[in-house]
Amino acid sequence: MCKGIYDPIVLKTIGSSQKTIDNPERAIFQGGLIMKGEISMAQLTMRDRFKKATGVVCKQGMVQFPVSDTAIAIIAAVVGQNEEELDLISAFDDKPSQTLAQLIESSGLSEEKIEQLATSLAKKGLIFNQPSSSGVMIYRLLPLMLVGLMEYKFMVELTGSREEKDLARLFEKLLEELKDQIQDNFETLSPLFNSAPAVDRTVPNKLMEDGKPIKIIPVQKALDNSEEFVLPSQTVDEIINKFDDIAVGYCFCRQRRSLLGDDCNTHAPTLNCFTFGKSARHTAAQGFAKKVTKEEARKIMAEAAQAGLIHKAFHPGSRESSPETSICNCCKDCCDTLGLWRKGTLPLINSTYHLSVIDQETCSGCGTCVEWCPTDAIALNEDGLAQREEGACLGCGVCSRFCPEEAISLQEGLRRVFIMPPQLRSA
């Protein structure tokens, strides 16, 4: 691994270095030093190609990964012994999103060859190839995860093959290595994590189990700069109504866990991972998801809510002013975001517009809300009644939905939930 580039792991959103040049006469590629002008792409060995291509993929997305043997093995398993595909990946080294003209220049490949290779890599989950709003085709290299290769590879209907299980184990090992690096640099990373934007946004469940609406307590004060703030959609129906293109695939978290022999304890449905607009067109075109109508989407969302799943929306670049790209329907048991937080790997960073409020005079202390809360934000106090910790509440409404006493309401108010992962090792 190249010295100083990914040690320690940092979030790209913090502005971490993409490349380090120790000597102006040298260009540093992941896994080794290639002298400028001395070695052409044609002279690289397959090992060099895998290292270089893996290094370029590893620096994409919010989380920077080291170029470990595990990361290289993942790229090798997905790409195979395809030199040209590895070379096209490496062409994204300086710029992760490029037009066809830019790729011709950066890769040295012909237009026909680029389109062929990009189409293949898109189906493998490594390239997002969709036209911009002006109609210009843009090719973007995807990260290993959040949202990229890992999500797309396990979003399809799985067969339970050896290859799928091997890939699931490689990603599990990669995440274990990430946890080790986070824990080794915990004190350094804490303030950096704290300044990162929300990864996702909670869209609340607003119906109780019997179909009655959950009580909503209006916001008590005006938002700062409220005249400039446009509140994102607060129901899944509002989001569905925005889009003509909607696609649904299988939950990549529950599917990956199942391949590892860790089936969902809540027996949650899996066909409920949604993409919208340009993302829907991409996932459908590559076979990661299938197009559905608005009515079909509403039915699937209703089934997800009935199962107690949490609606989490994603926006491009964490910009909530931009239309949603996807919605995950997450269970407490399998969700990668929740799991990585609990295991000490990554913080939980979420945007929400609601907060659960428990009426202790109505609460019977049954503990149903304690069982359902995805972040363990609710516990029974010394009086045996439910008590909520504000800083850990996602405002998802799952506790309200299943409360048999109708003792839990949702209070409006924009909040950012930030919870550091547990520090598993002493400083």
Residue 153 lies in a domain: no
Confidence of residue 62 (pLDDT cuts 50, 70, 90): confident
β-bridge pairing 200-203 and 348-358: parallel
Please report the pLDDT score of residue 40 as a whole number. Answer: 58
Q: What's the mean per-residue pLDDT of the chain? A: 89
| AA identity, residue 388 | R
Please determine, for residue 6, whether its predicted confidence score (pLDDT) is greater than 60: no
What does the DSSP 8-state code read for residue 216?
E
Q: Nearest to residue 380, comparing CAs of 396, 360, 403?
A: 360
Confidence of residue 133 (pLDDT cuts 50, 70, 90): confident
| Chain position carrying tokens 């960073």 | 349
Which pLDDT score, from 0 to 100, does residue 354 have? 97
- Rounded CA separation 299/279 (Å): 20
Q: Is 388 a residue whose pLDDT tops 90?
A: yes
Place 2 in a pLDDT band, splitting at 50, 70 and 90: very low
How many CB atoms are located within 10 Å of the residue 389 CB? Answer: 13
φ, ψ dihedrals at 220, nearest 5°? -90, -20
90, two tokens:
């490496």
Same domain, 298 and 228: yes
Helix%, strand%, coil% for the chain, nearest 5: 35, 20, 45
Same domain, residue pair 138 and 198: no
For strands 378-380 and 273-276, give the pairing. unpaired
The answer to whether position 198 is within a domain reads yes
At position 133, the amino acid (one-letter code) is S
Model confidence at 398, pLDDT cuts 50, 70, 90, reads: very high
Q: What is the pLDDT of residues 69-89, one digit of tens each?
A: 999 999 999 999 999 999 999
Is residue 411 pLDDT above 50, yes or no?
A: yes
Quote the distance between the C-alpha of residue 190 and its chain's center. 20
SS3 217: strand
Residue 89: predicted pLDDT: 98
Residue 93 domain flag: yes
The answer to the question of residue 389 being in a domain is: yes
Sign of the C-alpha dihedral, residues 34, 39, 42, 44?
negative
Helices (H), 144-293: 149-153, 162-184, 186-194, 236-242, 252-259, 277-286
pLDDT band at 304, cuts 50/70/90? very high
Same domain for 241 and 97: no
Q: CA-CA distance, 63 to 11, in Å (whole number)?
A: 5
Q: Is 40 part of a structural domain of the chain?
A: yes
pTM listed for this prediction: 0.87
**Pair (334, 211) in one structural domain:** yes
Using DSSP, state whether 373 is helix, strand or coil: coil
pLDDT in the model for residue 228 = 59
Examine the domain organization and report whether 332 and 402 are in the same domain: yes
The verdict on residue 200 lying in a domain is: yes
* pLDDT at residue 317, rounded to an integer: 87
Residues 6 or more apart whose CB falls under 8 angstroms from that of 41 comprise 87, 90, 108
Q: Which two tokens stand for residue 407?
A: 């003792």
Q: Are residues 131 and 66 in the same domain?
A: yes
User: Residue for token digits 């517009």?
Assistant: 353
98 and 228 part of one domain: no
* For range 394-403, the mean pLDDT: 97
Same domain, 136 and 234: no
* pLDDT above 70: residue 10: no
The residue whose two tokens read 């439910």 is 386
Buried b (16+ CB within 10 A) or exposed e, 115-137: bebbebbbebbbbbbeeeeeeee
| Domain termination site, one of 144, 178, 196 | 144
Token output for 337: 């975001």
- Indicate the SS3 state at residue 370: helix
Instruction: For 223-237, write each residue's pLDDT tens digit.
Output: 555 455 678 999 999
The reported pLDDT for the residue numbered 64 is: 86
pLDDT at 17 over 60: no
Residues 99 and 203 in one domain: no
**Cα–Cα distance measured from residue 95 to residue 103, given in angstroms and rounded to the nearest whole number:** 10
Q: Which contiguous run of DSSP H or E holds residue 348?
A: strand 348-358
Split into its structural domains, the chain has a count of: 2
Domain span including residue 378: 187-419
Both 199 and 108 in one domain: the answer is no
CATH code for the domain in which residue 119 is found: 1.10.10.10
CA 16 to chain centre: 19
Nearest-5° angle of CA 242, CA 304, CA 291?
Answer: 45
Tell me the C-alpha distance between 391 and 395, whole Å.
Answer: 10
Residue 239 shares a structural domain with residue 388: yes
Claim to verify: residue 118 and residue 195 sit in the same structural domain: no
Is 63 a domain residue? yes
Token couple for 44: 């690289």
Query: For the chain, how big is the Rg over CA atoms in Å?
Result: 23
Is the pLDDT at 11 greater than 90, yes or no? no
Cis? peptide before 269, omega within 30° of 0: no
Provide the β-strand partners of residue 28: 33
Residue 281 lies in a domain: yes
